[in-house]
Amino acid sequence: MREKKSRKKTKRILTALIITGLLVSFISVGLYFLSSVPVAELMGDPEAFDRGKLTADISRAVAERKDGFTVLYRDEEGLEEEFSELLGSLTKSRLEFSGIKRMSWKKVPFMGRALYDVRLEYGEADKADLGNALEYSKEAVLEQIFHMVLRRETKKELVFRNPGGTDEEEVISLVSSALKSRVEYRYLIAGCTHSCRVYDDYIVVVLDTEYYPDRADLEDIFEAKTQEEAYRYFLDRLKTGLETVVVKASAADIKKEDMNTVFVSAYYNDAEDIAVLINDINSKTYEDEQGDYIISYSLNIKDTETFLRLCGETREKLDGITLPDTGSRDLYARIFDYVTANCEYDYFLRDELLKEKFDSEEAMTSRGSYGALVKGKSICSGYAAAFKALCDRYGLPCMVITGKIEDTAHVWNAVLLDGIVSYVDCTFADTGDNPYQFYMMGNMTLRRAGYVPDKDQYIPEEFRKAGLSF
């Protein structure tokens, strides 16, 4: 009797536990889904799995940029496999899903039903632009990477339509090649990691790019086709001497060694802006396989504050010099007279330089136009720079020429009057007995006097047209 009562009691306990479990399940499921779907939908008739309808539901959710949605199915055999297979294939075959970074789903079965909660997480792709995605090709990849670098975008996701027959290895190889295709990228990009995902209908390329912070922007890199273009660009860019000047060219147009010659010539001929000559010029070259190159130039100025002050004093001095403008012929003569009358030769500086003491304060301050115009004391480079600076102020054609006389380094000027090239040497005019012997010298006089110009210096176009050559 007691044993029968014990069995009934145990049965009642088990029944209560089962009912409690069912209630807990209903409550848990209800709480989980109540915020996302109506109760009536949960309690309604479940649907049979329909691939077309589920595809449409996902497309609609993506178009509306929803975080997710829920669907209720009859929990039939094979449902989980069909559901997973369809969602997996959709993310690999439909262009409008390319912006989905991650798609996940959770199944909660109860009472012969299956509730699926589908969650959508989006990447950086702009859904509105996907319909305008370019078809994958070498040209399309090159174009997109160019615009990326132009804007200095660090994290970029590129989406292309897949024409078919493309694998990840091919895409990675093309992107790697594209990043090396322009010399500007070697100049601007410090590092770039990239990966890709290839699907049936589209390709996604993800790039993480780091740029050098102190480099010129892509659109600001000047491309020179001729040495004259480069020369004029250098003269225009050297305003304070502190600039980093960047130029691009093709070796087919200008050889790298010729570009270096052009920059040095521009540096010596920018006599007002670079009033203090600096011996140390920094340059760095970047090249690609096509023969294009970029060179950045800068002056290694140790004391920038003093340099700027001395150049500023030179400008003020030039502002205060007023010469009667009675025509080019008279102006050349007046400038020649002014320089020789207001500067004396610095024999101490000459001896210092002969001892190769280029870094002394005297060498820094006296070799350029500052020495001749402000200090009133210099050597040949200062005389020639002062003459050039004054000619520039009055718009007179003039260039600084470096070379030798009797195997000693020397600097003088060339001028252009009535289409004829003549030469002026203010240094020897000031230190000799017959000043005008060294004014407006012709080619024959120059050669007889032993002047030998350096061959590795650039001759501006107007002088070349007048027949000047070295």
Greater confidence (375 vs 4) lies with: 375
Greater confidence (9 vs 296) lies with: 296
When the pLDDT of each residue in the chain is averaged and rounded to a whole number, the result is 87
Are 312 and 438 members of one domain?
A: yes
What pLDDT, on a 0 to 100 scale, did the predictor assign at position 247? 98
CA distance 158 to 148: 10
Stretch 324-349: mean pLDDT, rounded? 95
Are 51 and 186 members of one domain?
A: no
Q: Is residue 157 a contact partner of residue 123, using CB atoms and an 8 Å limit?
A: yes
Are 457 and 344 members of one domain?
A: yes
Looking at this protein, which amino acid is placed at residue 134? L
Question: Is the pLDDT score of 451 beyond 80?
Answer: yes
What pLDDT, on a 0 to 100 scale, did the predictor assign at position 459? 98
Q: What are phi and psi of 105, to 5 degrees?
A: -150, 155
Are 243 and 175 members of one domain?
A: no
Greater confidence (312 vs 46) lies with: 312
Stretch 430-439: mean pLDDT, rounded? 93
pLDDT in tens, 153-166: 999 989 898 898 88
Q: Which two tokens stand for residue 317?
A: 């001095």
Question: Is the pLDDT score of 111 beyond 50?
Answer: yes
**DSSP string across 43-85:** HSPPBPP-HHHHHHHHHHHHHTT-SEEEEEEE--TTHHHHHHH
433: pLDDT confidence band, cut at 50, 70 and 90?
Answer: confident
Which residue among 100, 122, 144 closes a domain? 122
pLDDT in tens, 285-332: 999 989 999 999 999 998 899 999 999 999 999 999 999 988 999 999
Strand partners, 202: 161
Q: In sequence order, which residues have a C-beta less than 8 Å from that of residue 268 and are 6 or more positions away?
A: 274, 277, 381, 385, 400, 402, 457
What dihedral do alpha carbons 427, 432, 437, 439 form, nearest 10°? Answer: 20
Which residue among 243, 273, 299 closes a domain? 299
Are 313 and 458 members of one domain?
A: yes
Are 311 and 457 members of one domain?
A: yes
Q: In sequence order, which residues have a C-beta less than 8 Å from that of residue 312 and are 6 or more positions away?
A: none
What pLDDT, on a 0 to 100 scale, did the predictor assign at position 353? 81
Are 337 and 399 members of one domain?
A: yes
Which residue among 122, 152, 178 closes a domain? 122
190: pLDDT confidence band, cut at 50, 70 and 90?
Answer: very high
Asked if residue 400 belongs to a domain, the reply is: yes
Most distant pair of Cα atoms in the chain: their distance: 149
Asked if residue 382 belongs to a domain, the reply is: yes
Are 401 and 345 members of one domain?
A: yes
**CATH code: domain of residue 152:** 3.30.1370
What pLDDT, on a 0 to 100 scale, did the predictor assign at position 448? 95
Are 207 and 225 members of one domain?
A: no
Asked if residue 27 belongs to a domain, the reply is: no
What pLDDT, on a 0 to 100 scale, did the predictor assign at position 38? 47
Stretch 430-459: mean pLDDT, rounded? 95
Asked if residue 128 belongs to a domain, the reply is: no
Are 161 and 280 members of one domain?
A: no
Stretch 136-165: mean pLDDT, rounded? 93
Measured CA angle at 443 (ends 450, 385), to 5 deg: 75
Asked if residue 433 belongs to a domain, the reply is: yes
Highest mean pLDDT among 118-122, 133-137, 216-220, 319-323 belongs to 319-323
What is the number of H-type helices and E-type strands within the chain? Answer: 18, 16
Asked if residue 274 belongs to a domain, the reply is: yes
**CATH code: domain of residue 292:** 3.30.110
Asked if residue 250 belongs to a domain, the reply is: yes
**CATH code: domain of residue 369:** 3.10.620
What pLDDT, on a 0 to 100 scale, did the predictor assign at position 16? 56
Range of the domain at 328: 304-465
Are 82 and 102 members of one domain?
A: yes
What pLDDT, on a 0 to 100 scale, did the predictor assign at position 58? 84
Asked if residue 17 belongs to a domain, the reply is: no
Q: How many domains does the chain have?
A: 4
Query: What are the start-end ranges of the E strands in 123-201?
Result: 155-161, 189-198
Are 184 and 102 members of one domain?
A: no
What pLDDT, on a 0 to 100 scale, did the predictor assign at position 34? 46
